[in-house]
């Protein structure tokens, strides 16, 4: 039997990557193990504007729905500065900078472990030195033929 926390972690990581792809910053994922009875993971996504907030929220729901994961509850649908998506063991907070500064929600999770979510680029394969081909032999340069002087008769 698989651990359901892994599924919630995957949801959190997927939501974080969507936020990052939509140019939200900072995007942070916290492991709430033992710290919260509500969820196992929290995703904090800070956006610059209300249109970006709507775009991030819509894309997260669309992307996760495509993977068969549905939002159980949404809050703040009329809000222009904060929305929360509840995926059971994962809470996704999407909010603007003013709300971030005013509520300082990141301080609530300060004692929780951050989860790395960014895709690490695959290391480039080590390049082998190109095998040197032996230099092709150039045909010998032809010597210019000596000019024959014509004899007058």
- In order along the chain (153 residues), what is the average pLDDT of each group of 10 residues? 72 95 94 88 95 96 95 92 94 94 88 85 58 60 61 58
Q: What is the pLDDT of residue 1?
A: 39
Strands (DSSP E) along 8-130, which ranges?
27-31, 41-47, 73-75, 82-86, 90-96, 113-114
Q: What is the pLDDT of residue 59?
A: 97
Q: What is the pLDDT of residue 110?
A: 87
Element (H, E) at 19: helix 4-21
Domains of the chain, first to last = 4-114 (3.30.460.10)
Q: What is the pLDDT of residue 33?
A: 85
94: DSSP letter: E
pTM score of the predicted model? 0.74
Helices (H) and strands (E) in the chain, counts: 4, 6
Q: Are 113 and 42 in contact (CB under 8 A)?
A: no
Q: What is the pLDDT of residue 133?
A: 60
Q: Are 65 and 54 in contact (CB under 8 A)?
A: no
């Amino acid at each position: 039997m698989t651990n359901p926390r892994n599924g919630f972690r995957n949801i959190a990581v997927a939501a974080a990557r969507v936020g990052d792809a939509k140019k939200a910053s900072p995007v942070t994922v916290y492991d709430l193990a033992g710290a919260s009875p509500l969820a196992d993971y929290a995703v904090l996504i800070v956006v610059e504007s209300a249109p970006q907030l709507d775009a991030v929220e819509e894309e997260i729901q669309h992307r996760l729905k495509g993977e068969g994961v549905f939002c159980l509850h949404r809050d703040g649908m009329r809000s222009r500065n904060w929305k929360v998506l509840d995926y059971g063991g994962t809470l996704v907070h999407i909010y603007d900078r003013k709300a971030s500064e005013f509520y300082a929600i990141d301080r609530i999770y300060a004692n929780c472990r951050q989860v790395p979510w960014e895709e690490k680029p695959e290391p480039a394969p080590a390049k082998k030195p190109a095998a040197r081909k032996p230099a092709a032999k150039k045909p010998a340069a032809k010597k210019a033929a000596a000019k024959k002087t014509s004899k007058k008769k």
